[in-house]
Amino acid sequence: MVTSNRKCSNTVEKTNEKAKDEARKALYEVTSVIGRQEYSISYHDPKYDEEYIKRFVDFFNRKHIDSWEIRRAIHDLVDHDSIPDPEIVCACLRACRRLNDYALAIRVLEVTKNKCGNKVKEYYPYILQEIKPTLDELGLETIEELGYDKPELAVVDVDDIH
């Protein structure tokens, strides 16, 4: 009888180990609009970057995408602790152009610039260099070309309001 109890306890321990492993895996799973993503805090797989970029690009390249879905995907991009890859930004701009939503395209550029944070002078010119052919192809202007990088009512002298 003692041996049969040990077998039962070993089976229970193995079941508990499997449950703990599944719980650990579930801890790193995140569900988003675009799909299921797995995060590992201690390990970074370069192949994950390619899958991450491909998932967003495929999402933006769908034929029947609407403005709300683009906004939701941009929101998901902002939630990630990274600057969007130029390939993702180009796909998003093309999706905005298919919908003829110029304001949303400009918002994508603003969000990309804001995600650069305090390294904006280092990263943003690179991103602009990479997406410039897409901007030219779609007939879009940058934030700087539109003058949106400066406050609207900025004056040199405070007393010179008019």
Domain region containing 13: 1-31
Query: Is a pLDDT exceeding 50 seen at residue 128?
Result: yes
Four-residue CA torsion sign, 89, 95, 98, 101: negative
Cβ-Cβ contacts under 8 Å for 72 (sequence gap 6 or more): 33
pLDDT in tens, 139-159: 999 999 988 887 776 666 666
Query: Is a pLDDT exceeding 60 seen at residue 9?
Result: no
- Tell me if 85 sits within 8 A of 116, measured CB to CB: no
CA 70, chain centre distance (Å): 11
The overall average pLDDT reported for the chain is 77
Query: Is a pLDDT exceeding 90 seen at residue 8?
Result: no
Query: Is a pLDDT exceeding 60 seen at residue 62?
Result: yes
Note whether 8 and 73 are same-domain residues. Answer: no
Q: Which is more confidently placed, 46 or 145?
A: 145
Query: Is a pLDDT exceeding 80 seen at residue 135?
Result: yes
For the ranges 20-24, 31-35, 154-158, the lowest mean pLDDT is seen at 31-35
- Which ranges of the chain would DSSP assign to H, the alpha helix? 2-27, 46-60, 67-79, 86-98, 102-115, 120-138, 143-146
Tell me which amino acid residue 72 is: R
State the burial class of residue 29 (Cβ atoms within 10 Å of its Cβ: 0-12, 13-18, 19+): exposed
Note whether 69 and 18 are same-domain residues. Answer: no
% the chain with pLDDT above 90: 47
Q: Tokens for 159?
A: 């007393």
pLDDT in tens, 76-114: 888 888 888 999 999 999 999 999 999 999 999 999 999
| b/e 38-70 (16+ beta carbons within 10 angstroms → b) | eeeeeeeeeeeeeebbebbbebbeeeebeeebb
Note whether 52 and 26 are same-domain residues. Answer: no
Domain membership of residue 18 (yes or no) is: yes
Domain membership of residue 138 (yes or no) is: yes
Confidence of residue 18 (pLDDT cuts 50, 70, 90): low
pTM, rounded to two decimals: 0.66
Note whether 50 and 116 are same-domain residues. Answer: yes
Domain containing 111 — which CATH number? 1.25.40.40
Domain membership of residue 152 (yes or no) is: no
- Tell me if 96 sits within 8 A of 105, measured CB to CB: yes
Note whether 65 and 89 are same-domain residues. Answer: yes
Domain membership of residue 67 (yes or no) is: yes
Note whether 58 and 14 are same-domain residues. Answer: no
> How many domains in the chain?
2
Identify any residues that bridge with 128 across adjacent strands, giving them in sequence order.
none
Note whether 56 and 26 are same-domain residues. Answer: no
Q: What is the pLDDT of residue 72?
A: 93
